[in-house]
Amino acid sequence: MIGKGKSISHTGASMSYGWNQEKNTEVVYKQHLAGDNPKEITEEFKIIQEQNTRTKNNTLSFVLSPTIEDGTNLSIKHLQELTQRFITEMKLEEHQGIGFVHRDKQHTHVHVYVNRIGFDGTAYKDSFIGKRSQYAAEKVAKDMGLTTAREVQQEKLSELKRIRKEIKQTHEKVMTEKRPKDFDRYIKYMKKEGVQVIPSINRQNQLQGFRFEYKGQNLKGSEVHRSMSGSRLAVQIANNSTMGIRLKKENTIKLAGKTTGLSKNIATSIVKRVLKKVIKRTLDRGIGI
């Protein structure tokens, strides 16, 4: 579960927008309030907030988001418990508050609005409110046996690691078996293996490198592996041709039928590789190899 929190000033507008997104709004938390709609509750908040006119951001807004799987299995009773535990962790039990459920896009989450001003006119300290919300949600999730934000992050990292590995393996397969002699052929072979290779071209119409799209992820070549940065990929492709990658005027190449410039790093890498090939070929001839 992920918890987000911030202080806001637009209490009525924010609450009305969130509340009215759902028909038959399910209220899972209500403390020290009598009203039954955003307008009435905002007015009740204001009565207390008038005791402290110095505080502009006088309402706390929280969003509690269980994972999609957890949210599907949570009953209203469990959502009530979840919200109450979060409020207790944040030490806001004695403040006016309202919480209601959203079930849009199959992703159940709870919106909670709490009056930052207490009945004694004191403003609740909102320093690091975002971080504190995360920690409170993490503890509640752990106590209730739900997936924590840390676990979600770890799963995402593991998935990303697997995807990076698969892209790298596909790249190595293409380079070994197909030995593409230019970027167009490399892109074509990778696409046949299920990996979309997208040239990264800047405003000066210069090729900076490539992005790799695979299974919902879009990564820079260097993010997949350092050997797949634009300049290093250029060198690998240049190795597959006797003459390397042939550059046209002003360090340009043909890419997808268009003339495209090369960034300084890529152009330098290609030129160095071509020179090495020329020197080696000259030396080989000179000693009769």
Residue 172: which of 220, 246, 216, 225 has the closest Cα? 225
Read off the pLDDT of residues 29-84 as tens digits, 9 standing for 90 and up.
999 999 988 999 999 999 999 999 999 999 999 999 999 889 889 999 999 999 99
Where does residue 141 rank: exposed (0-12), middle (13-18), buried (19+ CB within 10 A)?
Answer: buried
Query: Coil, strand or helix: which one is 104?
Result: helix
- Mean predicted lDDT score pLDDT of the chain: 88
pLDDT of residue 24: 67
Q: Which of 16-20, 156-160, 189-193 has the lowest mean pLDDT?
A: 16-20
Taking residues 198-210, what's their average pLDDT?
Answer: 92
Rounded distance between C-alpha atoms, residue 24 and residue 153, angstroms: 33
pLDDT of residue 1 exceeding 50, the answer is: yes
pLDDT of residue 78: 95
pLDDT of residue 289: 47
pLDDT of residue 55: 94
Sign of CA dihedral 157, 163, 165, 167: negative
pLDDT of residue 209: 92
pLDDT of residue 272 exceeding 80, the answer is: no
Backbone conformation region of residue 66, classed left if phi is above 0, alpha if psi is from -120 to 50, else beta: beta
Rounded distance between C-alpha atoms, residue 115 and residue 58, angstroms: 7
Read off the pLDDT of residues 211-242 as tens digits, 9 standing for 90 and up.
999 999 999 999 999 999 988 898 898 888 76
